[in-house]
Amino acid sequence: MATRDAFLARVRAAQPAARALPDVPLFASPGGDLCERFTAALGAMGGTCVEAASATDVHALLDARFGANVVICSATPEVQGTRAMDANTPPASLEDVDVGVVRARFGVAETGSVWFSEKEYVVNALGYLAQHLVVLLDPAQLVDGLQDVYRQPDFRDARYAVLVTGPSATADIEGVLIRGAQGVRSLTVVWMAASGASS
């Protein structure tokens, strides 16, 4: 133990002097409608966007797209799942979830990405073990580009953060594109205003 403590003490003492981080420049925006840019970018990555006025519309979408007998786990109070989940749910218990429903904190028009933290996922494994991910996104919560993401207080305050862009995909073998190889097989963004959301 003494050797370990001595080693760690030497490592801590050898840290370089603190330096201010450089300013990250803001680059010019290409302009245009953020929703249209987001939809095009997400489409290029294999995802889709649809509109919904209410949770009833989302349930109708889930029934039409996935059928009535699927396991739905929702991390948002707006849409009721068929299986309850909270922060104490063991991650491995989500291995048979067909559809995960989660509300993104914001989206990135430049890349068609959606941003989640541990707060949005509730259980982080939901975003990786579910077969399909349905993401509620308020159009008012779009930022222009990736450079804007790092200026969001949510990004600085989260213990865990991830940008998700479309369904899982790989083209490693003979250049053939395969979706759902290492994660969700489909990603659908549902444009739906958040009640009481802050911009």
- Per DSSP, the three-state class of 93 is helix
pLDDT tens digits along 107-146: 999 999 999 999 999 999 999 999 999 999 999 999 999 9
- Give the mean pLDDT of the chain: 90
The answer to whether 50 touches 166, Cβ cutoff 8 Å, is: no
Model-level pTM greater than 0.75? yes
Q: What is the CA radius of gyration of the chain?
A: 20
Position of tokens 């799942």? 81
Where residue 197 falls among pLDDT bands split at 50, 70, 90?
Answer: very low
Task: Give the mean model confidence (pLDDT) for residues 84-96.
Answer: 95
Residue 199's pLDDT is: 38
List alpha helices for the chain, DSSP H: 2-13, 34-44, 55-66, 118-121, 126-129, 146-149, 153-157
d(CA 33, CA 13): 51
* CATH 3.30.70.890 is the classification of domain 33-191: no
Which amino acid does the sequence have at 95? E
Residue 1 has pLDDT above 60, yes or no: no
Percentage above 90 pLDDT, the chain: 65
Residue 175 has pLDDT above 90, yes or no: no
Residue 106's pLDDT is: 94
Residue 150's pLDDT is: 83
